[in-house]
Amino acid sequence: MKPNRSIPAATVIPVLIYPDVRAAVDWLGAAFGFVERVRIGEDHRAQLAYGEGAVIVGDVRKDRRPPRPGEVTHSVTVRVADARAHCERARAHGARILMEPTDFEYGERQYTAEDAAGHQWTFSQTLADVAPEEWGGTSVG
């Protein structure tokens, strides 16, 4: 792919809708460690980076809206170096922790949090390289 400084380099880029783009950018930076890389208008969109990954924060317009209370339309998974420390940072900034850091047989420690707009995030720390067949998965391809 050709590089373009106007779009994140990540291959998959979720776009999440928030009622207040600037507040979301500030909170996602403070609670989860995202860094703003591009601002598009004051309240229209922002591109955020986390390591090699990216997310775009979009405003509410026409048919775009954040999840309604109690509604789960998606979840975003982000790999982190230390899930327990990351969870404590998120909690300190008001994230609602839906699942405390938990070690899984597939070699990951994960926790799930909900942000102020109702988006669910799972943060995952790799503990070991485990073949999918060791826990009931199947390698394909």
Tell me the domain boundaries of the chain: 15-62+74-134
Measured CA distances, 117 to 30, 35, 56, 83 (Å): 15, 18, 14, 22
Residue with tokens 């999840």: 67
**Which pLDDT score is estimated for 141?**
84
Mean pLDDT for 30-34 is 97
Centre a 10 Å sphere on the Cβ of residue 32 and count the other Cβ atoms it contains. 22
**71, 56, 76, 73: which is closest to 123 by C-alpha?**
76
**Least confident segment among 13-22, 28-37, 66-75, 102-111:** 66-75
CATH of domain 15-62+74-134: 3.10.180.10
**Which pLDDT score is estimated for 126?**
96
pTM of this prediction? 0.88
The torsion angles phi and psi of 70, rounded to 5 degrees, stand at: 80, 0
Residue with the larger pLDDT of the pair 99 and 61: 99
The answer to whether residue 104 scores a pLDDT higher than 80 is yes
SS3 71: coil
